[in-house]
Structure 1
Amino acid sequence: MDAGFDDLPLFPLRTVLVPGAALGLRVFEPRYLDLVRECGRRGTGFGISLILDGEESGSPATPAGIGTEALIEDFDVGGDGLLALRVRGARRFRIRGSRVRDNGLVMADVAWRAPDPVVDLQPEHALLGVVLRRILERIDGADRLFAEPNFDDAAWVGWRLAELLPLEPTQRQQLLQLDDPDERLETLLRLVGDD
């Protein structure tokens, strides 16, 4: 289900950003420096979408049809002189169409996906809540990174596991494309069970 339309600059990557997750980026290509300047001026985010075909630098890559809005939380210039960003995943979107600007930046016409419904963690998924608690216990500073944990919310548990488990990008993409938090948790159970 979609909830509104927008024009969104894309930053295709070989990784998947899920809602609520943090991601560090090093920015050096002129088209992405332009993207950051534009987002800063407008106070908006940009889209991160998994690359299906192509590379992260050079010619525009073909992005997956579902991605996540990235909001800039912090930036700095690294020791190598490159712009370092920390972004956080926000809303999911579906790409309805795209075009490439003269500078090589891909602009997408996106439909925003509806926010996750608030669904209690079901008994059949309780094990995933336990797994997430144990993962967080082993992360230094988890209480700062995840200041407001919600182990009763199926969507929150699913997104945090999608963020923290050692999944392949295609597996994270599969989870990102699911609208139902319970279906996402069922898929996570299958993915964890396959290992």
Structure 2
Amino acid sequence: MPRRLLQRYLPHPDALRRRRSLRVVGHLIGNPSLWVLTRRSVANAFSVGLFSALLPIPFQMLVAAMGAWLARCNLPLSIGLVWITNPLTMPLIFFGNYRLGAWLLDTPVRPAPDRISTQWIAEQLVEILPALALGSLVAAVVTAALANLAIRLIWRWQVSRSWRQRTRRRRRSREATQES
């Protein structure tokens, strides 16, 4: 079942509440509805986390935490998924978002330099910002919706598969006891 797999890797809320750096938000972290692993809470957590990850804004983890709190979905999954845009993947993802936005706005794409740097981004920011913002928003919404749908379908498939296996085991067990 997907729940067992996720529980293996998620931190325990009490361990996080005891951390000195998180004591300020300890009452929020301790909310049980933010730690539930159901099909709905996990699917919504994927939506919130991926949506936050694809936005070119600072404090993405804070945005994901607030989104998880508002949507009452799984907090650690939402925050953890933000790290899809880490320092290694961020330039590629945001350049892809920029290209998507430029395509949607029907503007020419500025060629990327051999090496993307913060200096290049700062120089080009005023000109690329509308395309980056639109592309990021569209990519975030589409990715969040597809992730939500995919998680719900995968979860449902896994549960039905588990039920079928359980039914087969019970049938075999019954047949074995009847033959004895």
Q: Determine if the TM-score, normalized by the shorter chain, exceeds 0.5.
A: no
Greater per-residue strand proportion:
1
TM-score by length of 1: 0.24
